[in-house]
């Protein structure tokens, strides 16, 4: 029992927590993007989809019960992911007894070098996104109407500022997904050299498909493809 409790405090434990919480978020983002693409079927279809999320598990579960369970799991995964990432980075900094005169990143790519900053951008974006399209916070989405998801999306992405925020966040997400998924394979021991190209390919696929799918919505509203 003591060993199990101590595991999250180890470097390996933190990496496993990051990987598992990352899996939850990749799954969530994939289905979130898939669901949101239903906006191209029109207002009635999209609003029916949004309302249907509140009835998941019915009649076994009550109104919004499954949705709240999903929210708790996703938020908890997000929190653990941030905690593990920050503590790992601090441990890495503390392990350096001296500063390098010149930093040379021989095996790091641009995604790896921007994980922290990209993570901060994503954290800001998640907060903004909730205020914009979930809570309808005044000053963020003043035209928010409860129960009309389609109109809320239209109102949000009629603002060029909102679209720009989403685009910057999705670029950060693409880099974060690529490095995160690639690191996840290594954490789980899937680092056979013969399969390296496949793992990197899968990381790239997810890093492109999810952000591009999510980007289609604000861009389509801005250019009048969806209205």
Convert 86-144 into a string of H (helix), E (strand) and C (coil): HHHHHHHHHCCCCCCCCCCCCCCCHHHHCHHHHHHHHHHHHHHHHHHHHCCCCCCCCCC
Residue 152 contacts residue 143 (beta carbons within 8 Å) = yes
Q: How many CA atoms lie within 13 A of 30 on its CB side?
A: 10
As to burial, measured by CB atoms within 10 angstroms (0-12 exposed, 13-18 middle, 19+ buried), residue 124 is middle
As to burial, measured by CB atoms within 10 angstroms (0-12 exposed, 13-18 middle, 19+ buried), residue 173 is buried
pTM given for the model? 0.87
Q: How far apart are CA 14 and CA 173, in angstroms?
A: 21
Q: Tell me the domains of the chain and their CATH numbers.
A: 10-94+109-222 (1.20.1300.10)
Residue 111: φ, ψ to 5°: -65, -45
Residue 178 contacts residue 203 (beta carbons within 8 Å) = yes
Written as tens digits, the pLDDT of the chain (227 aa) is 556 677 777 888 888 999 999 999 999 999 999 999 999 999 999 999 999 999 999 889 999 999 999 999 999 999 999 999 888 888 877 776 555 545 554 445 555 667 788 888 999 999 999 999 999 999 999 899 998 999 999 999 999 999 999 999 999 999 999 988 988 888 888 777 777 888 889 999 999 999 999 999 999 999 999 98
Between vectors from CA 34 to CA 60 and to CA 119, what angle results, nearest 5°?
100
CA distances, 188 to each of 71, 91, 167, 185, 192 (Å): 26, 21, 31, 5, 11
Residue 39 contacts residue 46 (beta carbons within 8 Å) = yes
Q: How far apart are CA 198 and CA 105, in angstroms?
A: 24
């Amino acid at each position: 029992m003591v060993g199990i409790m101590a595991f999250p405090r180890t470097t390996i434990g933190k990496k496993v927590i990051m990987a598992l919480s990352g899996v939850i978020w990749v799954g969530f983002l994939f289905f979130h993007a898939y669901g949101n693409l239903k906006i191209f079927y029109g207002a009635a279809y999209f609003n029916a989809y949004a309302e249907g999320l509140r009835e998941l598990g019915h009649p076994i579960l009550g109104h919004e019960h499954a949705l709240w369970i999903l929210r708790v799991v996703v938020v908890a995964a997000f929190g653990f992911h941030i905690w593990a990432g920050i503590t790992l980075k601090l441990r890495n900094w503390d392990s350096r007894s001296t500063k390098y005169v010149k930093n040379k990143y021989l095996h790091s790519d641009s995604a790896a070098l921007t994980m922290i900053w990209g993570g901060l951008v994503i954290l800001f974006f998640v907060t903004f996104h909730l205020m914009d399209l979930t809570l309808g916070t005044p000053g963020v989405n003043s035209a928010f109407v409860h129960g009309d998801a389609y109109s809320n999306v239209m109102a949000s992405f009629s603002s060029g500022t909102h679209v720009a925020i989403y685009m910057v966040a999705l670029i950060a997400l693409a880099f974060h997904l690529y490095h995160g998924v690639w690191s996840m394979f290594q954490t789980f021991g899937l680092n056979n050299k013969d399969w390296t190209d496949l793992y990197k390919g899968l990381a790239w696929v997810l890093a492109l498909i999810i952000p591009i799918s999510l980007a289609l919505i604000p861009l389509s509203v801005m250019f009048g493809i969806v209205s």
